[in-house]
Structure 1
């Protein structure tokens, strides 16, 4: 597969797609019907369908009977943790094995030409990005994932969350299920801006940003506070007209859905000629530049708030201009403070 048909590679080996990132047309005004219809399959395939199917499979084969979930007991909680951990190991591990261990597509479509295993850093436990990311994923990530899941299932089992039947309210549940990615995007953008405030960034979010060159295990490598904020996206279903299966879809969209944005490759090769878009470039630019693309462009929140970077030279120029303005403001504030100090 020739990745240079789709992008360019610089002298460092970093690959950049030819086309800048485009926000989804879903919230354009006036509405662009043709653009929405053309984009709509990407809303479902392949990732959202995978997460929805996994939610249905969980409900069918993994989730304990409702009677068991009416009380908090170690047995079913431990069972859920074990299954979640195994699924993360298999799903995340498959990407890690294919792209980073066996390197089956070498550095084709890889944004950063280097591999984390080749770079040691004291920012990570044992100076290894992979070991650090894996430990944080299972010690904190899967634990809090399971904890949030247990709280929601207990709430449904005890009538503390609205539980609609698919047979009685199919259209309502279909609409809520369709909104799951939108809910995630809104929630993610809000908590992401919050943890980029100086204090929370220093003590919480910097853990995730240590992975400047993200790989699959970076997806859930976070501080426990960030894990709690991140998975809190399911708590919307305590008030929405919803259902445990739709709630699980929301949870899996967060848990398994963190992978596409962190694989570090624009496209994953499947077979000899197959390509699956990761849609990771917008979030990769966030890891690279820190203060752009707080969302994933489903809702154009970054455009509305002036933090959008589409990967183009124009996007780079806008980002640099914003940095210059902020630097000038900080310099002016410092000068004012020094002037006040001199007059005292």
Structure 2
């Protein structure tokens, strides 16, 4: 039997590079393009901010309602459930079920979803949907309800647009950077001997689809969404809390699409699945973080997608086994 090729598709631009603010010599033009390009003209980041505002105005409690437990908690859960289902199932239907974009830009050559005893219900898709909705959406919504209650009762500091417009905008820009900082350390913790039995549920997905992004054990969800607890220290508006949690919840869905992006009329219109993280799902012991803060480069676990990086990884893991 012929060997299956390692990747069905790799990005045109390799090696993968970290954010230019961490490269030397500094290139101010490149730095400007990187950060503007991550937001404009159409990006997942910008869509999440718009969606957070829509959720705040039309599908959230008032601060008066949030001061005490009530049905508003179930309303938050239902809103997050609906957003998750629409996004994850929509991407699944387009990219995997009906393959409307074919499989040309799909990273992994194996089909998603798969059947097998590795998954609950012997089915990868059912497994992913169950853990995403039963655990992921519930814990995400629980953290949001906690912050609504804390802000409404004065237990968490707040700002408004009128009180500090510069910081109000800056919070949105800082959420992805905080995510990169926080995610690396939580992810390394999950790969320790103590926590890996928990994280193994997510790593059932060697090949990934949109429903894989939030398919995690409840303990991992508690750690993952726990990033939002920083707002007990850093003052924000409720819309920032919604956006912060959407960034962790919905962004995980888009980055696990398994495809490089959405192509329309021969051009990539939206970046989706990241090859950097797809490599982590293939090899497990590289690329624990993201590209905004290069912890992996600093700690020797960075894989830039090249053959040379794969050889370095194999050598490092062999040395670790001998130690």
Taking structure 1 as the reference length, the TM-score comes to 0.88
The one of 253, 263, 276 aligned to 2:257? 263
| Cα deviation, residue 274, structure 1 | 4.5
Instruction: Tell me if 1:198 matches 2:193.
Output: yes
| Cα deviation, residue 277, structure 1 | 2.2
Mapping for residues 203-214 of structure 1, pairs under 5 Å: 204-214=198-208
The one of 120, 135, 140 aligned to 2:135? 140
The structure whose residues are more often helix, as a share, is 1
Q: What's 1:108 paired with?
A: 104
Q: What's 1:294 paired with?
A: 288
Aligned to 1:268, the other structure's residue is in SS state strand
After superposition, the C-alpha distances for 1:131-182 in whole angstroms (9 at most, x for unaligned) are 0000111110000011001001111111111111111201122222211101
Question: Alignment RMSD, CA only?
Answer: 1.6
Structure 2: runs of 5+ lacking an equivalent:
none
Structure 1 stretches of at least 4 aligned residues deviating more than 6 Å after TM superposition:
none
After superposition, the C-alpha distances for 1:44-69 in whole angstroms (9 at most, x for unaligned) are 14011011111111111111111111
Aligned to 1:293, the other structure's residue is in SS state coil
Instruction: Tell me if 1:96 matches 2:92.
Output: yes
2:6 and 2:31 mapped to 1: Cα distance?
A: 37
Q: What's 2:120 paired with?
A: 125
2:82 and 2:102 mapped to 1: Cα distance?
A: 27
Instruction: Tell me if 1:25 matches 2:25.
Output: no
After superposition, the C-alpha distances for 1:289-324 in whole angstroms (9 at most, x for unaligned) are 000001111111110111000101121121112112
| Cα deviation, residue 41, structure 1 | 2.4
Structure 1: runs of 5+ lacking an equivalent:
1-9, 330-344
After superposition, the C-alpha distances for 1:160-205 in whole angstroms (9 at most, x for unaligned) are 1111111120112222221110111111111000010012102x00
Larger RCO: 1 or 2 (CA < 8 Å, sep 6+): 2
After superposition, the C-alpha distances for 1:240-269 in whole angstroms (9 at most, x for unaligned) are 122211122111110111023211111222
After superposition, the C-alpha distances for 1:43-95 in whole angstroms (9 at most, x for unaligned) are 2140110111111111111111111110012x111111111111111111111
Alignment: residue pair count: 317
Instruction: Tell me if 1:51 matches 2:45.
Output: no
Q: What's 1:168 paired with?
A: 163
Task: Tell me if structure 2 keeps the 8 A contact 1:148–1:232.
Answer: yes
- When structure 1 is superposed on structure 2, of 57-66 and 263-272 the one drifting more is 263-272
Pick the structure with greater CA Rg: 1
Task: Tell me if structure 2 keeps the 8 A contact 1:185–1:295.
Answer: yes
2:301 and 2:144 mapped to 1: Cα distance?
A: 33
Mapping for residues 218-233 of structure 1, pairs under 5 Å: 218-233=212-227
- When structure 1 is superposed on structure 2, of 307-316 and 25-34 the one drifting more is 25-34
Taking structure 2 as the reference length, the TM-score comes to 0.94
